[in-house]
Structures are given as C-alpha cells and as structure tokens.
Amino acid sequence: MRRKLAAGNWKMNGLGASLSELGGIAAVATTQTDVLICPPATLITRAVAEAGSVAIGGQDCHANSSGAHTGDVSAEMLKDAGASHVILGHSERRADHGESDADVAAKTQAAWGADLVAVVCLGESLEEREGGTTLDVIKTQLAGSLPDGATAANTVIAYEPIWAIGTGKIPTLEQIAEVHDFIRAELETRFGTEGTGMRVLYGGSVKPSNATEIFATSNVDGALVGGASLKASDFTAIIAALDAA
C-alpha cells in the first residue's frame, strides 16, 4: 500500500514572513498523507524549525557535492540544512537551465548519495500532447532521468504536463489515468516490486476544487502543487482531499 504524498513547490516565492503559511500547514494533523514543502533554498533552515511533521525539500541540486559552481547548491548542502527531499528535473529547470534527462539522472544519483529522496519530474509540452506523442515523451524522460537503483524509498515520480502548470487547465481524468498507468507499468517493468511501491504524483493546476477527482484517478498517489501550496488554507484543503481519497 503506497502512502499518499502532498508535496508543495514554492518555486521562487517566499520570504521569512511566508513561514507563517508553513506553520498553518504543519498545524494540520494527517494520518494517511505525508506532507512535503519545498521552499526556496534560502528558507530551508528556518522552514525545518517550523515544520513539525512536514518534510522539507530543496527544488534542485548540483550533480557534484562541492566545487567551483557559483550559485549552485549541492545535495549534501540541502541535507545539511535539514532537507529530506529534492525536486529534480522540473520543467522550469529543464526550460530555464537547459537540463537534459542525463543531467537529471546525475542529480538524482547525487541526491541519493546524500540520502535525499529524489522527486523526479516528467511531462509533455502542449505541442507534444496535441501531436499524440505524450507517452513516447514520458517513456524517454523516465528512462533517461532515472538511474538504476531507484527504489520506493529513494524516489518519487511527478507527472506534470507543462501546459497544465500555472494555467488553470488540467488534462481530462482519462488522460491523467492513461499517463499514470503507463508510468506505473514502466516502473514495474524496470524496477519490479520497487516500481510497484514508488509513488507517482500528479502536478499542474491542482486546487482544492479539483483535488478530489484527481486523487480518485488510477495510480495517482498524491500531488506536486505549485501556486496552491503557498496558502495554508488551500494546501490544507488539498491535504484533506488526499486524506479522504
């Protein structure tokens, strides 16, 4: 039985004052659902102090553990700051920083080396969706971004159609199920029972108003939430929907 996971990605949002929202999230008792918040790196240490049972994660890490890489943060540094997870291969990193599947795989290896759980993101563009190549794109990204050695404990997959991120549009539930079932089959083929245990999150415009139906969809084990994770009232409603799913 896979535990559900509500993951919030604050992206490049959040100052010290935003930690009151984290306090509101941490105040909610859940038994069925694991909760993760990934604030900007500048807030990780302070977030850990406010988080209670909420796990804190980074939003990226370098593939190397240290060195001359100005502006980058290593997996070891995230771990040292108190993080337990790191988001890798988000489409915004792939687009803004030209990250390839091989880059994401190297970062995933680095995350595991630092004892962080890697939240590896995949997703098709609107052009790829309309061109009918979504499953091919997902297959290639999954194979290239995930090194051998992925387990249910060290890896979470997040399926995020790029065109659904921050747009208020979501795929149909049939489309979400098709991709999640496909990812599950690919994971099981490659990793066996570890692939059965690995959590697969949906991300892209998840809100309190659509959470219940998304969480009732096949092989959806939770959500990676952007905008709606910034407000405790929205995110706790999403957690409640997962708890009830």
Ligand X SMILES: O=C[C@H](O)COP(=O)(O)O
Residues designated as active site: 90, 160
Distance CA 89, CA 98 (A): 10
The correct pick among 28, 227, 234, 241 for binding ligand X (CB under 6 A) is 227
Q: In the window 160-179, what residues touch ligand X (CB under 6 A)?
A: 160, 165-166
3-state secondary structure of 100: coil
Q: How far is CA 149 from CA 55, 90, 194, in A?
A: 23, 21, 10
Please identify, among the stretches 69-77, 78-86, 108-116, 202-210, the one whose residues bind ligand X according to the rule CB under 6 A: 202-210
Minimum CB distance to ligand X smaller for 38 or for 76: 38
Stretch near ligand X under the rule CB under 6 A, chosen from 75-83, 98-106, 125-133, 221-229:
221-229
Residues numbered 87 to 106 that lie near ligand X (CB under 6 A) are 90
CB 68 → ligand X: shortest distance, Å? 29
Size of the site for ligand X (CB under 6 A): 14
Contact by Cβ (8 Å): 35, 25 = yes
Tokens of 69: 């890489």
First to last CA, the chain: 13
Report the greatest alpha carbon distance in the chain: 47
Among 122, 214, 225, 242, binds ligand X (CB under 6 A): 225
Integer Cα distance of 32 and 4 in angstroms: 7
Residues near ligand X, by CB under 6 A: 9, 90, 160, 165-166, 203-206, 224-228
